[in-house]
Amino acid sequence: MSNELSALQLIMTGDPALLAIVELSLAVSLCALVLATLIGMPLGAMLALVQFPGRNVLVVLLNALMGLPPVVVGLAVYLLLSRSGPLGSFGLLFTPTAMVIAQTIIIIPIIAAPTRQTIEDLWHEYRDELTAMDVGPIGRMLTLLWDARVSLFTAGLAGFGRAAAEVGAVMIVGGNIEGFTRTMTTAVVLETSKGNLHLAMGLGVILVAIVIAINAAVWTTRAWSEQRPG
């Protein structure tokens, strides 16, 4: 019981080192979410609306990539960004930028796959109406993305949850450097291995609280959208 109490004390007193870790975690995951949304939603919508050879293969691949292991992405990004790698000259390895890149890659499929499904279903409903209004390909995509906004918001939150909870990739490409690339998840791993269970538990409590907050947001959005189907 004393462990949990110490963890809560750390949170309550606003320990600066702890706050910095929380802040970095949220900033990295939020950046990854914004980038993955900007890439994943148009990508999903395009896969839903454009017919081209090999489309079905891409759809299956995209769905499979939702289960992409973060450590594998981390390794791939590590190889790309390491000194001898193709993008090594940018010197991005072991920086928050590298972590954002890795997390973006991990959650693009998590956002794009449900987007494709949602937009495809909506298109079946909207096809005649939009064709009759002479809406072009770009207009279709924007209209469907906007009208599917509630479902897509849920997809975005799922992506954010995945990014925030992920540990393997940020550990590999970030390096868990104190005060620079240490996130909640990597800190939990480190403090646990050091036997410093108070801090590990404190971070764990915050992480779980954030996950719960995200799920509460998803639930509230759903309830709101059911009440207001406009």
Q: 193 or 227: whose CB is closer to another protein?
A: 227
Give how many residues touch another protein by CB under 8 A: 17
Q: 23 or 125: whose CB is closer to another protein?
A: 125
Q: How far is the CB of 116 from another protein (least distance, A)?
A: 19
- The answer to whether 70 and 168 have CB atoms below 8 angstroms apart is yes
- The answer to whether 229 and 179 have CB atoms below 8 angstroms apart is no
Interaction mask 23-52, another protein, x per CB under 8 A: ------------------------------
Q: How far is the CB of 136 from another protein (least distance, A)?
A: 9
Burial class (CB within 10 angstroms; exposed 0-12, middle 13-18, buried 19+) of 64: exposed
Q: Distance of CA 100 to CAs 3, 6, 13, 131, 193, Å?
A: 32, 31, 29, 39, 25
Q: 99 or 122: whose CB is closer to another protein?
A: 122
Q: How far is the CB of 43 from another protein (least distance, A)?
A: 22
Q: How far is the CB of 128 from another protein (least distance, A)?
A: 6
Q: How far is the CB of 16 from another protein (least distance, A)?
A: 45
Question: Using the 8-state DSSP alphabet, how is residue 13 labeled?
Answer: T
Token couple for 150: 């509630």
Scanning residues 123 to 182, which ones bind another protein (CB under 8 A)?
Answer: 125-126, 128-129, 131-135, 139, 143, 146-147, 149
**229 lies in the site for another protein, by CB under 8 A:** yes
Rounded (to 5) percent helix, strand, coil in the chain: 80, 0, 20
Burial class (CB within 10 angstroms; exposed 0-12, middle 13-18, buried 19+) of 47: buried
Contacts of 225 (CB under 8 A, 6+ apart): 150
Q: 91 or 139: whose CB is closer to another protein?
A: 139
Q: 52 or 146: whose CB is closer to another protein?
A: 146
Q: 44 or 204: whose CB is closer to another protein?
A: 44
Burial class (CB within 10 angstroms; exposed 0-12, middle 13-18, buried 19+) of 152: buried
Q: Which residues bind another protein (CB under 8 A)?
A: 125-126, 128-129, 131-135, 139, 143, 146-147, 149, 228-230
